[in-house]
Chain A
Amino acid sequence: MTEAATAAGPVDSGPTAGERFINGILPENPIYRQLLGMCPTLAVTGGMQPAMTMTGGVLFVLVCANVIVSLIRGLLKPHLRILVFTLTIATFVTIVDRFLAAYMYQMSKQLGPYVPLIIVNCLIISRCEVCASKQSVRVALADAVGQSIGFGLALASIASVREILGSGTWFGMRVLPAAWPEWVIMVLPPGAFITLGLLMGLVNWYVDRRQPSRR
């Protein structure tokens, strides 16, 4: 019904659902290729548990926001669209925030302001703008899931390095011998910047090697 109502502009001229999904994972990885959503990337990757909780929150918000924005894309007025995106995102972020506070109180306290800050995570606004406001619900859904997986993989890689080197644990389980000297800097903000930079260099090196034409 709404599909038919969106006569404004060429419908679905962009990538297909499959392309959107694959693009989100590595070719247009939100962290390593687009450098979007740096705030949670740097702030919550001290351990795997907060990183994965953040990924779950972003997945929920991104899927819901993309679907809603895609459904109402025929009603959007160009000068008000960012406002509508932000209000839609804020609704679902509030749900996530209250859910965490109700069922995962310790994690909610640990994540602190970074859950409400998902509202201004430019990853989600950019997906609404780039994909959901222009393409069908099916493509927007695939895009949201693909980008969330890419976001989750990036956060998991950074958090793994930081938690293993910084605490000798992974998901709170001890993986290195107790004699391991903990690299305290890795769980502090400088460790986030150093790890992000080195891993981004690694990903760029990998992508360049596979596709020499991108150089």
Chain B
Amino acid sequence: MAEDTPREAEAQASPEAHINVAPSPHLASTSGACTTRWMMLDVLIALVPLIVAALVVFRLYAVKQLAICVVTCVVAEALFTRWRGRHANLNDLSAVVTGVILALSLPWSAPWYVGLIAGTVAIGLGKIVFGGLGQNLFNPAMVGRAFVLVCFPVALGATAYQSDTSALDAVTAATPLTRAVQDGESASLWSLFLGNVNGSLGETSALACLAGGIFLCLRRTASWEIAAGTILSTAVVALIAQLLGDGVLSMLHHILAGALLFGAFFIATDPVSSPLTPTGKWIFGVGIGLFVMLMRLFSGYPEGVMFAVLLMNATTPLINRWTIPRPVGGPAPVQV
């Protein structure tokens, strides 16, 4: 906390320095193309298909959640950074990204105070207490969501998604994963792919998640190793479960349903709370996939992406320490 202020001041004081080595995301860069603001803009662009899918499926409910969460996160960021006596840098858009991801991870029916509390907790307890952007151990949006999920199990649990009286088609049935657990029914793969099913706002359409996620990976804003590791390990475990005849969901169901693709591309790839090295990213992604399948197959929760990401976030410092890359030409000779 105390050490980054002089570093920032130093970087601003010497504009002629061309090599600036620091963990991502970067508050400033001499080239201008790789700033935090641009990374966050990339994420927002990639989230557009998901937002569109959410608007098509959930209409005004999606607008409501998005507005509440984004406004809360931005206000909380401004308020809490000011309390800490720091300059609130809202232009880096990181609070907006947290707000959008948080909103897309909530159910359509969540009452207004859920977004308000989740946004405040996400920014306050998930980010600013650790020292702000780049210092947080856990993904802020998932900290906020975990808090409200434990806080309001009725308003956010599996039953909150379903409403027989709603005018929306998608929400008359339970979410695909809940249906599989409770009723032993499996949704059609085509509807899971397009997104006309029940679920959290951003997770229903696999197509939108793939479109946005591949854009992020091509732009190198998100690490493809994390997404690939998550999806591959989920697929392997799901295939084993399918071959053993456990449950009604096939391997493709497990990949397309629930928040797996959304989590793999948008939540797990948060550059702050994920490992730095390629090997570490593979370990991180595979771990998330294994935890997701562990929770889907053996726990009381139908879905486990949020807890899987938070659990693996906690191991990130350890993974970083394990996977320090070997320098070219071998390690430096020991100074005696």
Residues of A within 8 A of B (CB): 181, 183-186, 188, 190, 194
Is A181 within 8 A of B150, CB to CB?
no
User: Taking the complex as formed, is B113 at the interface, i.e. its CB lies under 8 A from any CB of chain A?
Assistant: yes
Q: Which of B111, B151, B155 contacts A185 (CB 8 A)?
A: B151
CA distance A199 to B147 in the complex (A): 18
Q: Which residues on B sit within 8 Å (CB–CB) of A185?
A: 147, 150-151
- Per the bound structure, the CA–CA distance linking A20 and B150 in Å amounts to 42
Q: B125 near A184 (CB under 8 angstroms)? A: no
Secondary structure dominating the interface of B: helix
Cβ contact within 8 Å between A190 and B150: yes
When A and B form their complex, which 3 residue pairs have the shortest distance between CB atoms, in order from nearest?
A: A185-B150, A185-B151, A183-B151
Q: Are B147 and A181 in contact (CB under 8 A)?
A: no
Chain A residues near B125: list those with CB within 8 A.
194
* A80→B111 CA distance, assembly (Å): 60
- For A190, the closest partner residue in chain B by CB is B150
Q: How far is the CB of A184 from chain B (nearest CB, A)?
A: 6
Chain B residues closer than 8 Å to A186, beta-carbon distance:
151
Contact with A along B176-194 (1 / 0, CB 8 A): 0000000000000000000
Q: Complex Cα distance A190/B152, Å?
A: 14
Residues of A within 8 A of B147 (CB): 185
Which among A181, A188, A190, A194 is the interface contact of B155 at CB below 8 angstroms?
A181
Name the interface residues of B110-129: CB closer than 8 Å to any CB of A: 111, 113, 117, 125
| Residues on A with beta carbons closer than 8 Å to the beta carbon of B153 | 184
B150 and A188 contacting across the interface, CB-CB below 8 Å: yes
- Collect the chain A residues with CB atoms within 8 Å of residue B151's CB: 183-186
Which chain B positions have C-beta within 8 A of A190?
150
Q: Could you jot down 11 A-B contacts, CB within 8 Å?
A: A181-B113, A181-B152, A181-B155, A183-B117, A183-B151, A183-B152, A184-B151, A185-B147, A185-B150, A190-B150, A194-B125
What 0/1 readout, one digit per residue, does chain B (287-307) give for beta carbons within 8 Å of chain A?
000000000000000000000
Q: Which of B117, B150, B155 is packed against the most chain A CB atoms within 10 Å?
A: B150
